[in-house]
Amino acid sequence: MNRTTTHLAIAAAFVAGGLVTHVVLPAIAAENIVAQVIHVPELTGDALGPASATGFRSKSFMAADGATIAIQDGNVPKHLHPNTNEIQYILEGSGTIWLGDQEVAVKASDLVIIPKGTAHAGTKPDGRPFKSIAIKTPPQAADDTKMLP
């Protein structure tokens, strides 16, 4: 009797976990998504949040269970994300960025794929700093940025 109770309890816990994963979590994630049109060219200065010491600004517009989307403006020092992949679409600016162990030329309309654990930075803009759309998957945790020398 005790063995049967244990097996039933494990099965019930498994089913409950499955329901939470497929019913409750998507509902929570969907609460963070708002139907909207973002006029990206109008997003400048404080509309993108406070500037860091290097002048970098970032504003998140969507967070879901699978990804986050933000607009970033300015140059960020070299860093990596141990647990987050990043995709950047360069909206404005041209110059070079760090990608892995090399500097790579980029310009507006380039798509930059940055696998988790890859060092990257906006380093040498030709004129205007880079402005990009950043998609991170899975959503970046607050402690998932490691600054590099």
The answer to whether 90 and 110 have CB atoms below 8 angstroms apart is yes
pLDDT tens digits, one per residue of 77-99: 999 999 999 999 999 999 999 99
Distance CA 139, CA 4 (A): 41
- Please report, to the nearest 10 degrees, the dihedral formed by the alpha carbons of residues 142, 99, 134, 56 taken in order: 70
Distance set, CA 141 to CA 68, 82, 108 (Å): 10, 10, 28
Q: Does residue 11 surpass a pLDDT of 50?
A: no
Structure tokens at 19: 């329901």
pLDDT band at 127 (very low <50, low <70, confident <90, very high): confident
pLDDT band at 117 (very low <50, low <70, confident <90, very high): very high
Structure tokens at 1: 């009797």
Distance CA 115, CA 41 (A): 27
On the question of a cis peptide bond just before residue 129, with omega within 30 degrees of 0, the verdict is no
- The DSSP line for 1-45 is -HHHHHHHHHHHHHHHHHHIIIIIHHHHHHTT-------GGG--G
What is the H or E stretch that residue 88 is in?
strand 85-92
